[in-house]
């Protein structure tokens, strides 16, 4: 067989982009001469993040449907037609041996076209509640790689393979030595570090919570690494001090995870998969503004195994201080959460997904 050509499509958020990059990296490791092309949505973060990872990307003129009647929705049929035509041109020109979709509206047109041409397609569904694009594509693809049990309610059982979610390679073997991480963040070594993650775009409610509870948090004896998101950095950078470090985006997630003793995080699928591997105590605050409330379902899957704590946004005013103070004071609880969350990890997910892709190539 000559050089393989792979198209990876998905995007809109880091939760769809980073899995696609991880899969591409593993394919490249196995097939150094392969060619890769990413297909995303114009103007979304993949157009910046994918080239930073060393891959070529083409953008489609596509957006998701808004929940209320807007001008954008009236344009939607034209965007779909435009994206299908461009996806068709891309498939004809690039001639991929396989197409991998990681979800998000950007992947719909590309996989629709590729599957129609008989090109083997694989879906990767990160969440415990399947996304709309993947549900629409389920009958057209050869394999669907999932991270949770019970996904037969969304997809044909004979296509499902439970692989887990791809995570960045540098997280699978995290060093125990904190010295480089402490130096990177400019923090002291004698106080525990709380890492706050709001997802790649930031989380408004978590940022508001941290800003109003800063004095309380510092009184618990913690230092803080706070990733507030690029939409919010101008508002929250003023809270930076010797004990509080504020970032729009964390380019060294590996060091952030090494530094952290406990975390507060959204529960997007990618974050949950990474945090299982990192194996530290987490308080999940799911976003209520996502399709089908899937972040709550993702977090609940861990809470049911006593592997994490979950607070809904509606409970924060009433329960946050008591919950967090108890976590800080109870070292046995911290140990138990760490042990249990590690049991949920699927660190070889990327390899298993690529195994499934390779089966289709032969």
**Is the same domain home to 18 and 107?**
yes
CA distance 224 to 304: 28
**Is the same domain home to 52 and 186?**
no
Q: Is 295 annotated as a binding residue?
A: yes
> pLDDT band at 69, cuts 50/70/90?
low
Out of 111-120, 139-148, 194-203, 267-276, pick the least confident. 194-203
> pLDDT band at 81, cuts 50/70/90?
confident
Could you tell me if 152 and 160 are in contact, meaning their C-beta atoms sit under 8 angstroms apart?
yes
Q: Is 15 annotated as a binding residue?
A: yes
pLDDT digits (tens, 9 = 90+) for 137-189: 999 999 999 998 889 999 999 999 999 998 877 776 677 789 999 999 999 88
More confident site: 244 or 104? 244
CA distance 297 to 199: 17
**Is the same domain home to 185 and 308?**
yes
CA distance 297 to 77: 31
CA distance 6 to 4: 7
Q: Is 200 annotated as a binding residue?
A: yes
**Is the same domain home to 191 and 305?**
yes
**Is the same domain home to 13 and 162?**
yes
Q: What is the per-residue pLDDT for 70?
A: 66
CA distance 73 to 144: 29
Percent of the chain past pLDDT 90, that is, above it, reads: 70
**Is the same domain home to 66 and 187?**
no
CA distance 210 to 208: 6
Q: What does the pLDDT average to over 58-68?
A: 73
Query: Given a cut of 60, is residue 67 above it in pLDDT?
Result: no
More confident site: 65 or 55? 55
- The secondary structure element, H or E, covering residue 51 is helix 46-52
Q: What does the pLDDT average to over 338-345?
A: 94
**Is the same domain home to 201 and 132?**
no
Q: Is 115 annotated as a binding residue?
A: no
CATH of residue 162's domain is 3.40.50.2000
More confident site: 285 or 167? 285
Q: Is 340 annotated as a binding residue?
A: no
Q: What does the pLDDT average to over 291-309?
A: 91
Total domains in the chain come to 2
Q: Is 13 annotated as a binding residue?
A: yes
Q: Is 127 annotated as a binding residue?
A: yes
The residue ranges of DSSP E strands in the chain, in sequence order, are: 5-9, 35-41, 57-60, 98-101, 121-125, 143-146, 160-162, 193-197, 223-227, 244-247, 262-265, 282-284, 309-310
CA angle 173, 298, 168 (to 5 degrees): 25
Helix axes 294-303, 269-278, angle to 10 degrees: 20
pLDDT digits (tens, 9 = 90+) for 226-264: 999 989 999 999 999 999 999 999 989 889 999 999 999
Show the domain range for 265. 170-343
> pLDDT band at 64, cuts 50/70/90?
low
**Is the same domain home to 303 and 351?**
no
CA distance 38 to 51: 9
**Is the same domain home to 11 and 139?**
yes
pLDDT digits (tens, 9 = 90+) for 8-17: 998 877 778 8
**Is the same domain home to 156 and 196?**
no
Q: What is the per-residue pLDDT for 129?
A: 85
Q: 35 by DSSP, 3-state: which?
A: strand
Q: Exposed, middle or buried, 2 (CB in 10 Å: 0-12/13-18/19+)? A: exposed
**Is the same domain home to 175 and 300?**
yes
**Is the same domain home to 134 and 267?**
no
Q: What does the pLDDT average to over 295-310?
A: 94
Q: What is the per-residue pLDDT for 173?
A: 67
């Amino acid at each position: 067989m000559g050089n393989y050509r792979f198209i990876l499509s998905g995007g809109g958020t880091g939760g769809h982009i980073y899995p696609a990059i991880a899969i591409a990296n593993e394919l490249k490791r196995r097939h150094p001469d392969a060619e890769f092309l990413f297909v995303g949505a114009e103007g979304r973060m993949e157009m910046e993040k994918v080239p930073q990872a060393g891959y070529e990307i083409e953008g489609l003129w596509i957006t998701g449907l808004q929940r209320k009647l807007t001008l954008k929705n009236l344009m939607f049929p034209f965007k779909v037609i435009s994206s299908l035509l461009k996806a068709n041109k891309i498939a004809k020109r690039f001639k991929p041996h396989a197409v991998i979709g990681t979800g998000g509206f950007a992947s719909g047109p590309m996989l629709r076209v590729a599957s129609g041409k008989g090109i083997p397609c694989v879906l990767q569904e990160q969440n415990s509640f399947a996304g709309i694009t993947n549900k629409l594509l389920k009958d057209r693809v050869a394999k669907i790689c999932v991270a949770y049990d019970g996904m037969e309610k969304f997809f044909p059982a004979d296509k499902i393979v439970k692989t887990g979610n791809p995570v960045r390679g540098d997280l699978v073997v995290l060093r125990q030595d904190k010295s480089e991480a402490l130096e990177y963040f400019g923090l002291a070594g004698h106080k525990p570090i709380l890492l706050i993650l709001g997802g790649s775009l930031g989380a408004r409610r978590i940022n508001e919570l941290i800003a109003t509870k800063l004095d309380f948090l510092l009184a618990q004896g913690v230092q803080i690494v706070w990733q507030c998101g690029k939409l919010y950095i101008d508002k929250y950078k003023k809270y930076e001090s010797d004990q509080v470090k504020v970032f729009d985006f964390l380019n060294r997630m590996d060091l952030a995870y090494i530094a952290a003793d406990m975390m507060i995080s959204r529960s997007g699928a990618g974050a949950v998969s990474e945090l299982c591997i990192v194996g530290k105590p987490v308080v999940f605050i799911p976003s209520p503004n996502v399709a089908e409330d899937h972040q709550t379902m993702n977090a609940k899957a861990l809470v049911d195994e006593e592997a994490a704590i979950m607070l809904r946004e509606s409970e924060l005013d009433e329960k946050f201080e008591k919950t967090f103070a108890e976590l800080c004071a109870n070292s046995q609880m911290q140990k138990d959460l760490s042990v249990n969350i590690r049991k949920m990890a699927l660190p070889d997910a990327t390899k298993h997904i690529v195994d499934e892709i390779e089966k289709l190539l032969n």
